[in-house]
Chain A
Amino acid sequence: MVTYIIRRLIGALLMLAIVSMVTFSIFFVVPRMAGATSEDFANRYLGKAATAEMAAVAAEKLGFNDPVPVQYGRWIKGVFAGAEYDTGASIEQCPAPCFGYSFVKRQPVWPELVDRIPVTLSLAVGASVIWLIGGVAVGVLSALKRGSFFDRAAMSVALAGVSLPIFFTGIVSLVVFSYGMGITAPGGAYTPFEENPAEWAYNLLLPWITLAFLYAASYARLTRAGMLETMGEDYIRTARAKGLPESTVISRHGLRAALTPIVTIFGLDLGLLLGGAVLTESTFSLKGIGDYAVQAIMTNDLPKIMGVTMVAALFVVVASLIVDLLYAVVDPRVRLG
């Protein structure tokens, strides 16, 4: 088990290194292939009024003329030790962890991201709890009552859930529940949990449900398929032959095995969402990481985009690491591998 954990940890670190290299390449190598010069890069850090000489000086000072690996190394060093951006015209400080410095807003990327993490975290975690419980429960019931009215109805709703985009369900539910009935918050508001938990939940309820609906649908289908498969396994027959009550057979023997693939998908889905639930945040005007990414793209603020990309990748890698470890806890056969 210890070797398994160590191996997974090394794997995750390697993954992060590769992700950072790919991200770095996308922003600093690919543009060069398209013909961008060091001065073009430097121009991003200068105002619009910058002259060609200023750009040349800045390009040299910022190190855009150095070999690419050196630039990459400097960037990684910034993440751990902080960085200093000297454009010749001004010197900007970017303390560790420095995920880039936005010259559009004249501030480091990381503190801004940190401000937005609680919003995305609240949204993702709350929704995931709802969809996990709801999706699995519906899936199990559908599998056990296969072919019944409930099964058909649930699977139809699930199909709708998978197919309908969030900006549709989100807006419809806003119109109906917030503006129509007035039972949920109108969106755009976020109260930190530690300030007022009740208000925190009230403001997030509709985004949670809308986002959860999308995921619950696919989880219900996945759980149903998994349950149908496991309930036909030989060990289920053994469990029944032992004289176990049917409820124990279903929960301890059937669901336990059917849940393993769900754990995997859940971890990755949650990791992805933590990197920004772009559509949900836009629909409900929540200032989370997804909204941050959208703004960064709209203002063509490359350091911000790169920072968001790295943080999102970090979440996914960490999530898949946790999934791997959980998997070994759930399925003892994995520990061998």
Chain B
Amino acid sequence: MSTPTSFLELRDLRIHFPTDDGLVKSVDGLSYKLERGKTLGIVGESGSGKSVTSLGILGLHKGTRAKISGEIWLDGEELVSASAEHVRRLRGKKMAMIFQDPLSAMHPFYTVGQQIIEAYRIHHKVSKKVARKHAIDMLGRVGIPQPERRVDSYPHEFSGGMRQRAMIAMALSCDPELLIADEPTTALDVTVQAQILDLMRDLQRDFNAALIIITHDLGVVAELSDDILVMYGGKCIEYGTAEDIFERPEHPYTWGLLGSMPRLDREPTERLLPIKGNPPSLINVPSGCAFHPRCAFEGRTGGKADTEVPALLESSGGHLVRCHMPPELRRDIWENEIKPSLESS
């Protein structure tokens, strides 16, 4: 167990939940690295383990029935084996999280200001007055007009976009070095989505934080991410730079995600290319490659699809893919079959 040099590094993280129906393997051997000032996009369907991973990094599974193994290194500290109290002190200050639906994620009985003040005062020994001034500053910084007045409003008195801004202000109030945004724009109008994404980009630059964006929306990660990690059935199935994933994706699942993404540059008459089937059960994960029951290229794997779990292997400089098909075949399929169908307008 050597201390890593990266700011955040996950090594073979597994988060399993024992239930009456069996062991739910929400996260099953996940590893990645992230540096300060960089943005990682984690993409996948519901139930692929995206959110469970981030809650695991924050230590929010401690004290529950979840079984966690592997290592989470944050700035030279290992968090899986650290005490719950130690991780609690890091939470909010060193690492913070923005949640999906800011209406349900903020307490309905306290004003926005009270909630930011509370977050700030756990980690800073300051008077309420100082904390209140800080809360107003933060609200102003995330673009809320008349922050000195809005600080006393309740979450239900804000619009959806303003509420998400307030949530971001709360998460950033202690100047965290790692910020995890879990579906930050899913609950918002499209016009507001773009504003929030712009805001997050600007704030990340100001704060120089490491940012993880969790989403099922490839458009969101395309906007912001340096690197992208595609998750399926609790595992990473493709990892690479944003360019790798959008220009030369190699996993059939990633192709499916790209094919399901509505795009303005396509003909309105053209149908989307959805991925057939449903996300896998995390209790009875399909044998071999977890994606094989839904994979259109299952026949080209040399019969290994349902017998052998494919390894996550490097395809080209830093681009990792978990697929039985040889890299040359994958690139060939992408160039000659998938890409033309996506661009066939």
The answer to whether B107 touches A257, judged by C-beta atoms less than 8 angstroms apart, is yes
**What is the CB-to-nearest-CB distance from A36 to chain B, in angstroms, rounded to a whole number?**
54
Provide the residues of chain A in CB contact with B123, threshold 8 Å: 243
Interface assignment of B58: CB less than 8 Å from any CB of chain A: yes
For chains A and B in complex, what number of residue pairs have CB atoms within 8 angstroms?
70
CA distance A245 to B85 in the complex (A): 8
**Is the CB–CB distance between B105 and A242 below 8 Å?**
no
Chain A residue numbers with a CB within 8 Å of B105 are 234-235, 237-238
Are B99 and A234 in contact (CB-based, < 8 A)? yes
B108 touching A332 by the CB < 8 A rule? Answer: yes
Q: Is B306 an interface residue (CB 8 A)?
A: no
Would you call A244 an interface residue if the criterion is a C-beta within 8 Å of the partner chain's C-beta atoms?
yes
- Residues of chain B in range 75-119 having any CB-CB distance to chain A below 8 Å: 88-93, 96-97, 99, 101, 104-109, 111, 118-119
A242 touches B99 (CB 8 A): no
Which residues of chain A have C-beta atoms less than 8 A from B93's C-beta? 243
Q: A237-B99, A332-B154, A333-B156 are in contact. Are A242 and B109 (CB under 8 A)?
A: no
Q: Which B residue sits closest to A239, measured CB to CB?
A: B107
Q: Is A224 an interface residue (CB 8 A)?
A: no
Q: A257-B109, A332-B109 are in contact. Are A242 and B104 (CB under 8 A)?
A: no
Q: Which residue of B lies closest to A245 (CB)?
A: B88
- Collect the chain B residues with CB atoms within 8 Å of residue A246's CB: 63, 88
Closest B residue to A254 by CB, please name it: B107
- Which residues of B are found within 8 Å of A336, using beta-carbon distances? 156
Q: Are A242 and B119 in contact (CB under 8 A)?
A: yes
Say yes or no: A243 contacts B91, CB within 8 Å.
yes
**Which residue of A241, A244, A253 contacts B96 across the interface (Cβ within 8 Å)?**
A241
Once A256-B109, A330-B109, A333-B154 are accepted as A-B contacts, the answer to whether A238 and B91 lie under 8 Å apart by CB is: no
Nearest CB of chain B from residue A234's CB, rounded to whole Å:
4
For chain A, what secondary structure do more than half of its interface residues adopt (helix, strand, loop), or is it mixed?
A: helix
Q: Is the interface on chain A under 10, 10 to 19, 20 to 34, or 35 or more residues?
A: 20 to 34
Does the CB pair A331–B60 fall under 8 Å? no
B178 contacts partner chain A, Cβ-Cβ < 8 Å: no
Mask, A210-253, CB within 8 Å of B = 1, is 00000000000000000000000111011111111110000011
Query: Is there an interface contact between B101 and A234, defined as CB atoms closer than 8 Å?
Result: yes
* Nearest A residue to B63, CB-CB: A246
Residues of A close to B10: CB separation below 8 A: none
Nearest B residue (CB) for A260: B109
Closest to B55 in A: A237
Question: Are A244 and B107 in contact, with the CB atoms below 8 A?
Answer: no
List the B residue with the shortest CB-CB distance to A335.
B154
B209 within 8 A of A: no
**24 A–B contact pairs at CB < 8 A?**
A234-B99, A234-B104, A235-B106, A237-B99, A239-B107, A241-B60, A241-B92, A242-B91, A242-B92, A242-B118, A242-B119, A243-B89, A243-B90, A243-B92, A244-B118, A245-B88, A245-B122, A252-B118, A256-B107, A257-B107, A330-B109, A331-B108, A332-B156, A333-B156
| Residues in chain A within 8 A of chain B (CB atoms) | 233-235, 237-246, 252-253, 256-257, 330-333, 336
Query: Can you add 7 more A-B contacts, CB < 8 Å, to A240-B91, A242-B96, A257-B107?
Result: A234-B105, A235-B108, A242-B118, A243-B91, A245-B88, A246-B63, A333-B108
Residues of B whose CB lies within 8 Å of any CB of A are 55, 58, 60, 63, 88-93, 96-97, 99, 101, 104-109, 111, 118-119, 122-123, 154, 156, 170
